[in-house]
Amino acid sequence: MPHDTTAPPLGVGMVGYAFMGAAHSQGWRTAGRVFDLPRSPVMAAVCGRDPDAVRSAADRLGWAAAETDWRALIARDDVHLVDICTPGDSHAEIAIAALAAGKHVLCEKPLANSVAEAEAMAAAAESAHARGQVAMVGFNYRRVPALALARRLVAEGRLGDLRHLRLTYLQDWTVDPSFPLTWRMRREHAGSGALGDLGAHVVDLAQYLAGEWVTGVSGQLETFVRQRPLPGDATRMGEVTVDDAALFTGRLASGALASFEVSRVAAGRKNALRVELNGERGSLAFDLERLNELEYHDHTEPASLAGFRRVLVTEEDHPYLSAWWPPGHGLGYEHTFVHQVRDLVHAVADGARPDPSFADGLQVQRVLAAVEESAAKNSVHTPVLAQ
């Protein structure tokens, strides 16, 4: 798997270097050494507010330089693409400024903290596309080979008309009420809680796999732990201003029914993303904890033979797999970010609209906002009367 040093460079500047910054760095470090790319990613600079911490992150993650002001990062001549891995409250400002400066943009999900911000970002991306720039939103689970294969099977009509989509994404990292009040639990920074953090992923996956948009929702939100200790001072408490869990149903444009459940307080569930699609001709099921596998049921087979079969998604003709290992040698979570870079670099080189685009991110934001609006209306429940 040679690294092509003849391809023209694509200088990358990344804003943020925590969890997502580390994952994105893995993608930028690795993609050009695995795939033949039309542009060669160069990790030019990483940006963070703390000078010592960002310099340490640059050394650890493989970035050539460090900046403490994202405006300075955008202004660098060696940065052609800006990768945004910051909390949602800064996405719009950074992305719009980067696009205005002539840079390509990759922005982590959810695209923004509000529909209005997402609309402004999508409009800026559309204008920039006319100038040859691309803007992608980072829904990395689209790049799991098994899920990309699922999309291929749906598009080929293997399931026929879809009837049901069932998606859950459960975590437990905030079950303990003594867990501190981080930025992810403050609406002014995160926009929403589990709904935006995890719900954005499952909404995007539903629309990606089905090949159509969610057109209506009905939802409920709940915050189970309403106060938490302030970071660095466990003696003081602060208000949690986002949801811990969300439960909502939806209808797709075709009339298919969808159900979604997301939680950050589901004890025992670490990163439990599960998907099932049921159609008139068959079904598909996926579990992120077994991410090299896809379950497929062909309902056109005789009942004596029919049933869910385990497809090991490691063959050379499966999505992304021709560049990796021999069949049976599985991939992991980090490879989704390598695949994301691969697809983005091709979009940059081709001047093509990336997938998913900022317009796709805006559509997800609209669904999330509709869930919040519905939950507010559904806050008073109809009592179940005893017989």
Do 80 and 103 touch, CB atoms closer than 8 A? Answer: yes
Q: For residue 344, is it within any domain? A: no
CA-CA-CA-CA dihedral for 235, 241, 245, 248, to nearest 10? 170
Buried b (16+ CB within 10 A) or exposed e, 65-74: bbbeebeebb
The domain total for the chain is 2
Does any domain span residue 219? yes
> 114, 140, 166 — which closes off a domain?
140
The pLDDT of residue 384: 82
* CA pair distance 197, 221, nearest whole angstrom: 13
One-letter amino acid at 208 equals: Y
pLDDT beneath 50: ranges in the chain: 1-2
Domain hosting 260: range is: 145-290+292-331
Residue 155 has a pLDDT of 98
> pTM for this one?
0.95
Amino acid 100: pLDDT? 98
Count CB neighbours of 306 within 10 A.
13
Q: Residue 2 domain-assigned?
A: no
Burial 158-168 (b: 16+ CB within 10 A, else e): bbeebeebbbb
Q: Are residues 87 and 44 in the same domain?
A: yes
- The pLDDT value given to residue 387: 66
Q: The tokens of 358 are what?
A: 């900022």
**CATH code for the domain in which residue 41 is found:** 3.40.50.720
pLDDT, residue 305, reads 87
Residue 237: inside a domain: yes
Q: What pLDDT was estimated at residue 2?
A: 43
CATH number at residue 235: 3.30.360.10
Residue 387 within a domain = no
Same domain, 134 and 172: no
Within-domain flag for 364:
no
Q: Which of 99, 121, 140 is the last residue of a domain?
A: 140
**155 and 125 in one domain?**
no
**183 in helix, strand or coil?**
helix
Residues 187 and 103 in one domain: no
The answer on 259 and 119 residing in a single domain is: no
Residue 160 backbone zone (phi > 0: left; psi -120 to 50: alpha; other: beta): left
Does some domain include residue 341? no
Do 248 and 112 share a domain, yes or no?
no
Residue with tokens 């639990």: 185
**Would you state the pLDDT for residue 4?**
54
Same domain, 125 and 253: no
pLDDT score for 122: 98
CB 256 within 8 A of CB 210: yes
- Say if residue 245 is in the same domain as residue 208: yes
Task: Give the separation between CA 284 and CA 297, rounded to whole angstroms.
Answer: 6
Phi, psi of 161 (to 5 degrees): -70, 130
In this structure, the answer to whether residues 111 and 159 fall within a common structural domain is no
Q: Do residues 299 and 165 both lie within one domain?
A: yes
Residues 148 and 156: beta-carbon distance below 8 Å: no
Q: Please indicate, yes or no, whether residues 316 and 201 belong to a single structural domain of this protein.
A: yes
Per-residue pLDDT, 5: 62
Residue 255 domain flag: yes
Among the candidates 140, 163, 185, a domain finishes at 140
114 and 159 inside one domain: no
